[in-house]
Chains A and B, each alone.
Chain A
Amino acid sequence: EPEVTQTPSHQVTQMGQEVILRCVPISNHLYFYWYRQILGQKVEFLVSFYNNEISEKSEIFDDQFSVERPDGSNFTLKIRSTKLEDSAMYFCASSGVTGGFNEQFFGPGTRLTVL
């Protein structure tokens, strides 16, 4: 069964460093998302991406964040200068296009720890 994959599963970085989180969405999906979940908090929407551009972003997704689809399979989230409060689980999701409900399929997540 097709699934969303994410790498790495755990990333440890120093405050101020850049990190890139990688995702491979389901191959025939057209919409891509990043969500994050701070420990003990809700899963929160960061950004959605369609047709090689950002469709929508939350107030969390400030200038320190960027997304890219560098090739036909990968979807990346870059945090330019990490802060302690960026420590969270980051989930990638993708969805297709149908005439009805479009399920968002989630990857297993990348745990980001900023020291």
Chain B
Amino acid sequence: QKEVEQDPGPLSVPEGAIVSLNCTYSNSAFQYFMWYRQYSRKGPELLMYTYSSGNKEDGRFTAQVDKSSKYISLFIRDSQPSDSATYLCAVLGGNSGNTPLVFGKGTRLSVIA
């Protein structure tokens, strides 16, 4: 069972564009939804997380979860060349400290100046 699906891209946009990244998941038990950013030859770094459904905004980034359709989105406004990275969606089944993360495959984003 493929638990988290993510279009791997690559996605190339001009500087200043709005970027939309999406994932779907299969298990309705998932409660926490994360977006990680991974630069080349680095480990994943948490960008944002959302609990249950709804939106969360942090500067130019907005995370959105629709639990009814099991759909996770990340929007980047006014994209910058420094946003060029691989973006990984991830889910967490609970909040116990040892709950494994389940990742999507990652979408490689290039923002062209």
Residues of A within 8 A of B (CB): 4, 30-31, 33, 35, 41-45, 48, 50, 55-56, 58, 91, 93, 95-97, 100-109
Contact = CB atoms under 8 A, between A and B. Distances in A.
Contacts, number: 59
Contacts of B14: none
Interface in B70-113: 88, 90, 95, 97-98, 100-106
A54 to B, nearest CB: 9
A97 B95 CA distance: 10
A-B pairs, top 3 by smallest CB distance, nearest first, are A106-B43, A45-B100, A55-B98
Interface residues of B, number: 22
A108 to B, nearest CB: 5
B49 interface: yes
Contacts of A44: 103
B72 to A, nearest CB: 15
18 contacts: A35-B101, A41-B105, A42-B104, A42-B105, A43-B90, A43-B101, A43-B106, A45-B101, A50-B97, A56-B98, A91-B44, A100-B95, A101-B95, A102-B95, A104-B46, A106-B44, A107-B43, A108-B42
